[in-house]
Amino acid sequence: MALETLTQSDAKDASTPEADAETEQQEQQEEEVQELLSKDTIFELLKNQRRRDAIQYLKQNDGEAQLGDMAEFIAAKENDIDIAQLSSSQRKRVYIGLYQCHLPKMATSGVIDFEKNRGDITLKPTAEQLEPYLGDSTPETDDATASTSKRNAAVAGAVGIGVAAGLLGVPGFALVPDAAWAVLSTTALVVLTAMETYRQHELDD
């Protein structure tokens, strides 16, 4: 009887590590299961150009990036210039938008890991669910963003040339009173500022 009890006890002890290993394996598998994103979540994430650019940048850099590098890349893209030409305000505007709004929202949705203190960003497997929707929405918005920047620059340049020509007495332009040029340039500045503010609001949303 004692021998039978001992044998049963030994068998129980021997099976415990296997059971523990199986339980641990099941837990790991559960952790690896991707959370399914709803369509509302997907469209909320992808409706903003900066979030799409952030995902594309991570994909181009093996799923990992630093916040500062990402902000420079996106700022240069938005302003249609090289990174070396960026001003500090252009960098800062995108950096703050990513840090305060876009990256936390993406992290909450489960598509990235974002270490705020270190600025480390890592793309998670869940982001693969966004792939079918990225190609359809990005080009159109990219073109619109570039078009808006170029249009604003063209308008500002045209107004500047007109004002300079009027002040220098170029025939035709000199017929316009100086006061009219002042009003025109001020109005153009206000309109361009409003357009740029609206564009930034759309990017920060």
Q: 164-175 pLDDT, tens per residue?
A: 655 556 666 566
Q: What is the pLDDT of residue 186?
A: 73
DSSP letters along 2-55, please? HHHHHHHHHHHHHHHHHHHHHHHHHHHHHHHSPPPPPHHHHHHHHTSHHHHHHH
Residue 115 phi/psi, 5-degree rounding, is -95, 100
What is the rounded average pLDDT of the residues 73-93?
Answer: 96
Report the percentage of the chain scoring pLDDT > 90: 47
Q: What is the pLDDT of residue 170?
A: 61
Return d(Cα 96, Cα 74) in angstroms, integer: 12
Helix, strand or coil for residue 132? helix
The amino acid at 23: T
| Closest by CA position to 129, among listed 114, 141, 111, 112 | 111
Q: What is the pLDDT of residue 84?
A: 96
Quick one: how far is CA 64 from the chain centroid? 14
Q: What is the DSSP letter of 62?
A: T
The residue among 15 and 70 whose pLDDT is bigger is 70
Tell me what the pLDDT averaged over the chain comes to: 75
What is the rounded average pLDDT of the residues 153-161?
Answer: 61
What is the rounded average pLDDT of the residues 140-167?
Answer: 55
Q: What is the pLDDT of residue 169?
A: 62
pLDDT category, 151, cuts 50, 70, 90? low
The residue among 57 and 1 whose pLDDT is bigger is 57
CB atoms within 10 A of CB 185: 16
- Residue 112 and residue 58 in contact, taking contact as beta carbons nearer than 8 Å: yes
